[in-house]
Structure 1
Amino acid sequence: MITVKLEKSVMENEEGINHIWIQYQQFPGAEGITGVRISLQLPEGMHRLPNMNGYPENEFGAIEMGSPIKGSDVLIEVYTGKAVPGDKGEISVIVDCRDDTGQPQRYTHSVTVNFVNEDEMNDLFIDEEVTGRVKQLRRSLGDEWEFTIIKPVTIVQFNELSELEKKYRIEY
């Protein structure tokens, strides 16, 4: 039903960054599902940016998927600023909706994130599937970073001085 993947297996406990990929398959009775809302509960010291897909979010940060459900996934960038207490944390993804009879439904999925110091990042595993999806989404939204190397150019001009330049020019 819900699959949650982290881009990096470990995350720096201070000034770290990671991406969460939330995928959802067909909900039971999905043709009648309405009011789908996805929210996250993050460990202390971890913060998030608005979802990368551009779905609207309410004042509490819950992602409003609309009716009928748009898309099949959500990407969210999370980060740590100051040092996070502890070496592990739990990220919970909560999906609230109403089924075809109008009854509220809740689905929850949790993943554990390991926090390490910067010098311990050597044991890092990067999920290339998540990285590929982040790149694909950024490209589709026109948010692709491009680096261009520009060589410096020196222009030498041999011009005659105007009368005013000749009169007021100060030679060093």
Structure 2
Amino acid sequence: MINIELEKPVMEHEEGINHLLIQVHIPERKEIMIDIELPEGMYRETNLNGYYEDYNNLIYLYGERDVISLAIELYTENPIDVGEKIIKISCKPSDNQFVEYKIPIKITDSYLDDYEINEQVTNKIKELCSIKTNNNEFTSYKPITYSHRSTVSSLERKYRIDY
């Protein structure tokens, strides 16, 4: 069973930012591969939890806990077409039962000051990131990522979740 939520149901068409929270129930000792297919012009960072991702951006989760929460940061750089877009999330457990989820997201050309934020998603992402950084049992390093952006926009500074 999978629960998927967006931090906000809308996103700016240019320099927009949003977060995706995927909670996966994994049977013990099972592995699940997750693939996230984004609309053209929308990008994502590597998962904020530090779970393994291969060169095809497939995320591998192993049934070490009853429920695994996965946090993904989504963003746009250049203007993309406005309207409703679909984010496709494909899950393939090790027993080969392929499941695909489609999450609608509205792209708008106006800058969003007053919109509905899912505070539960925001708080869960902050919690997940603080657990990752405060775990003294292991030393974890954030994966090296290469960004196409050379500057941080004012909107990104305003809406990015501080980890």
Distance 2:5 2:58 in 1: 19
Deviation at 1:9, TM superposition (A): 1.8
1:73-112 matches, within 5 Å, as 73-99=69-95, 104-112=96-104
Aligned to 1:4: 4
- What are the ranges of 5 or more consecutive residues in structure 1 without an aligned counterpart? 147-172
Aligned to 2:128: 137
Deviation at 1:45, TM superposition (A): 0.5
With normalisation by structure 2, the TM-score equals 0.75
What letter corresponds to residue 11 of structure 1 in structure 2?
M
Distance 2:93 2:4 in 1: 18
Deviation at 1:107, TM superposition (A): 1.4
Deviation at 1:55, TM superposition (A): 0.2
Deviation at 1:57, TM superposition (A): 0.2
Distance 2:21 2:64 in 1: 17
Query: Could you say what secondary structure the match of 2:97 adopts?
Result: strand
Aligned length: 136
1:45-56 matches, within 5 Å, as 45-56=41-52
What letter corresponds to residue 121 of structure 2 in structure 1?
V
Q: 1:98 to 1:18 in 2, by over 3 A?
A: same
Aligned to 2:105: 113
Q: Deviations over 1:61-83 (max 9, x none)?
A: 010113x3555111100100001
> Which structure has the larger Rg over C-alpha atoms?
1
- What are the ranges of 5 or more consecutive residues in structure 2 without an aligned counterpart? 135-160
Indicate conservation of the 8 Å contact 2:82/2:106, yes or no: no
Query: Could you say what secondary structure the match of 2:54 adopts?
Result: coil
What letter corresponds to residue 56 of structure 2 in structure 1?
F
| Aligned CA-pair RMSD | 2.2
Q: Deviations over 1:18-45 (max 9, x none)?
A: 000011235xxx3463x41011010110
Q: State the identity as a percent.
A: 32
Distance 2:101 2:114 in 1: 25
Q: 1:40 to 1:145 in 2, by over 3 A?
A: closer
Distance 1:138 1:5 in 2: 17
